[in-house]
Amino acid sequence: MSDRVITTIADGIADVRLARPDKMNALDPAMFAGIGAAIDALADRTDVRCAVLSGDGRAFCAGLDMASMAQGGSGLSGRDRNAQGAILPQHVTWGWRNLPMPVIAAVHGVAFGGGFQIMSGADIRIAAPGTRFAIREVYWGLVPDMAGFPIWRGLVRDDVLRELVFTAREFDADEALRHGFVTRLADDPRAAALAMAREIAGRNPHAIRGAKRLLNMAHDADPAAMLAAETREQEQVIGKPNMMEAVAANAGRRAPVFAD
């Protein structure tokens, strides 16, 4: 297990924490590798029904470790693409979106540059009111290249995105919420994320995973493909034991017991 990322799993929830607090969880090669490994470790876990992603210390993630970059260690040298078409720096964002279970990001302090893109990969993003954000890459003479663009096109207006990318300016949590980068605000975003994760973990996991697959298609697939996908996903759950357990539990006003 990487010392940059710590994952604990209990009660169907993976608690994933970026663990480089002395550097505000800035991205060096070891952090890229650690995040990628954490995603890969969750990909086949049928017992994990929801994941919460957060950062230790004062910040979620301050973006690229520029000192590491100056030494030629950006973590961007490997160009091998995985089955989703992503190289490692894209996988640490895109991978959260492609995990079978929902992912909730709990964000505080700062989410700059690569940290902002990693946050964007989560299905749901809860931020502390004082959090600062920036699509920071142009400030350093770079372009955002960690899978932000295919995600942001479904979150925010095109002209707003262009302004934030071109200026690289900081913006606060209220503005992030208005634009759609953040789902909602909470004074303790990690506690709020874990509470939401527990609620999600209490639903039929097969229905949740099917719904995520449909949501991942929604921005790109044509209507005919979406209609067929809806039917296909419903056929996988309707009348099955977990669906019947949901009905019985709701009727009996008790907690359901689902099979993974």
CATH of the domain at 219: 1.10.12
pLDDT of residue 103: 98
Task: Please state the domain count of the chain.
Answer: 2
Residue 12 sits at φ, ψ, to 5 deg, of 80, 5
Domain boundary among 200, 225, 241: 200
| Apex 30 CA angle, 26 and 35, nearest 5 | 75
- Does 116 lie in the same domain as 18? yes
- Does 32 lie in the same domain as 131? yes
For residue 259, being part of any structural domain is answered with no
pTM attached to this predicted model: 0.95
- Does 233 lie in the same domain as 111? no
- Does 118 lie in the same domain as 140? yes
Burial class (CB in 10 A: 0-12, 13-18, 19+), 6: middle
pLDDT of residue 66: 84
Tell me which residue range forms the domain holding 226: 203-252
Q: How is residue 57 written in tokens?
A: 């210390």
- Does 149 lie in the same domain as 43? yes
Angstrom distance (rounded) from CA 161 to CA 153: 8
What is the rounded average pLDDT for all residues in the chain?
95
3-state secondary structure of 257: coil
- Does 233 lie in the same domain as 141? no
3-state secondary structure string, 67-115? HHHHCCCCCCCCCCCCCCCCCHHHHHHHHHHHCCCCEEEEECCEEECHH
- Does 195 lie in the same domain as 213? no
- Does 152 lie in the same domain as 93? yes
Write the CATH number for 31: 3.90.226.10
- Does 195 lie in the same domain as 208? no
Do residues 203 and 260 lie in contact, with contact meaning Cβ atoms separated by under 8 Å? no
Instruction: List average pLDDT for each run of 10 residues in the chain, which is 260 residues long.
Output: 89 98 96 97 97 98 86 60 94 98 98 98 98 97 96 95 98 98 98 98 98 95 97 98 97 96
- Does 224 lie in the same domain as 178? no
Domain boundary among 183, 200, 217: 200
- Does 239 lie in the same domain as 133? no
- Does 215 lie in the same domain as 196? no
For residue 120, being part of any structural domain is answered with yes
Helix, strand, coil percent content, the chain, rounded in steps of 5: 45, 15, 40
Angstrom distance (rounded) from CA 84 to CA 74: 22
For residue 154, being part of any structural domain is answered with yes
